[in-house]
Structure 1
């Protein structure tokens, strides 16, 4: 599965720790807001690279783009909350969406790479952090 990690700023984490019991309710909402920002950028990047710079006409069905989504925020065994942007599996023909996304991202013999995930991660970082900060402030005001 293709994934992107976004690290939270330290001052943001300190604010979270001061909230006490409400953090388990607020963190998933904040992370899902950030995940939606990254998802929209990944989706637009993917749409722009599919079928571009090909020798033959594109056979895209749109299935890869429609399989793209954000997971709900879940807590791992280390106590960290995570949200993942990735692809639902499998495709209708049994192939893996992650495999096809990997081939598009990194290329293969005879097919040049068309990165869409890594540029989306770097270009959406600031917007994602800002959206999460705003959502966090909204949630803090509601307490």
Structure 2
């Protein structure tokens, strides 16, 4: 049986070992950097979707867009960190922001769908990954 040994550069090993101790601090900041990219894409798509192609003048109050936000990075029950883009609740009129966003995304009888979440997910994938890579390199460089 063959045996292979790799010698890693000492500088790299020092950074990886320091990262191991600070992983719980660094991962949330990296995920939030990617989440900010996704949040901006959702916000841009929402602005374009609201009031577009309507038979009557838009009655938008801007409350849905104002309720859009990014959750802090939290660890789930499986030990994975997550950030979420979503809407805070409730609205001033008692309705649910999630319900209104769902109707806007998928439509209803007499109202065609105006997808803004699914396209944002697709549009934010590569820039989000790049933002997270850049933030990770920045965090590792600071060790």
TM-score, normalising length from structure 1? 0.87
Deviation at 1:128, TM superposition (A): 0.3
Alignment of 1:16-27 (within 5 A): 19-27=19-27
Q: Measured at CA, do residues 23 and 108 of structure 1 come closer, stay the same or move farther in structure 2, by a change above 3 Å?
A: same
The residue number in structure 2 matching 1:6 is none
Tell me, in whole angstroms, the C-alpha distance in 2 between the residues paired with 1:121 and 1:139: 25
How far off is 1:17 after superposition?
Answer: 9.4
When the two structures are aligned, how many residues end up with a matched partner? 129
Q: Do structure 1's residue 41 and structure 2's residue 46 form an aligned pair?
A: no
- Could you give the per-residue CA deviations for residues 43-76 of structure 1, whole angstroms, max 9, x where no partner exists? 0000001000111110000000000000000001
Task: Indicate the RMSD between aligned Cα atoms, in angstroms.
Answer: 1.6
Matched with 1:125 is 125
Runs of 4+, deviation exceeding 2 Å = 16-19
d(CA) in 1 for partners of 2:76, 2:20: 19
Runs of 5+ in structure 2 lacking a partner? 1-15
Tell me by how many angstroms 1:19 deviates: 2.7
Q: Residues 1-143 of structure 1: matches in 2 within 5 Å? A: 19-143=19-143
Closer, same or farther: CA 51–17 of 1 in aligned 2, 3 Å: farther
Bigger Cα Rg: 2
Asked if structure 2 preserves the Cα contact closer than 8 Å seen for 1:17 and 1:23, the reply is: no
